[in-house]
Amino acid sequence: MKKISSIILAISALASFSASANSITLQLLSGVNNAGGSAWAYQMIFANSDLENGDFITLHDFGPVTAQILPAGWSLSQSLLGSTPSQLSPVDSAGVLNATLTWGGGSAPQGTAVGPIFLLQSPYDLSNTDTIDYSTLDHVMAGLNAGDPSKVLSTVLGTRAPTVPDAGLTVGLLGSALLAVEGLRRRLSK
């Protein structure tokens, strides 16, 4: 019985290791100030990875991208709430743009390799450097889970759009709304 439980534990450990080893991860190569703000170079790292149309990498809360150089087969989109694989919960402000790279080059087995580099230009300089979340979705290339979606949530250095304080505008609007409700209540009670 002890031998069987040891074998089950070993298989469980291998299964959990292989599930986390199938992925796209990002590595920051450089972030430099330039005349337009800052330029960021990232490299994709593939581990037992197979790209299918619609697979993606999202840099959450990166801010606006003013220029980009992308590898063949990848396109860039921006939205306030970026593409996120199910069951992952990145830090993602609804008021800051995300940068999502989406694969559209057909089925492309990547295996385990250092992948292509992409460059993003931000209007903000390096004084806005922060750790930001990124999430990826690709597919497991080989093994017991071949063809299954592979999801990653991790962090990388990047630009973060500066937060603009609302100078009390929210409290002022709430106060105005409460006064209007009170005025309406008094008018209806007469």
Instruction: Domains for the chain: give ranges and CATH numbers.
Output: 24-164 (2.60.40)
Distances in Å between the Cα of 22 and the Cα atoms of 47, 111, 140, 141, 162 are: 5, 9, 6, 8, 34
Q: Are 132 and 59 within 8 A, CB to CB?
A: yes
* Global confidence as pTM: 0.74
CB contact burial 155-164 (16+ within 10 A = b; e otherwise): ebebbbbeee
102-140 pLDDT, tens digit per residue, is: 999 998 888 888 889 999 999 999 998 999 999 999 999
Q: Are 78 and 137 within 8 A, CB to CB?
A: no
**Per-residue DSSP letter, 53:** T
Residue 8 in tokens: 């089950």
Question: For residues 163 and 65, which has the higher predicted lDDT (pLDDT)?
Answer: 65
Question: For residues 93 and 7, which has the higher predicted lDDT (pLDDT)?
Answer: 93
Instruction: Report the alpha-carbon angle 126-129-131, nearest 5.
Output: 160
Q: Are 156 and 134 within 8 A, CB to CB?
A: yes
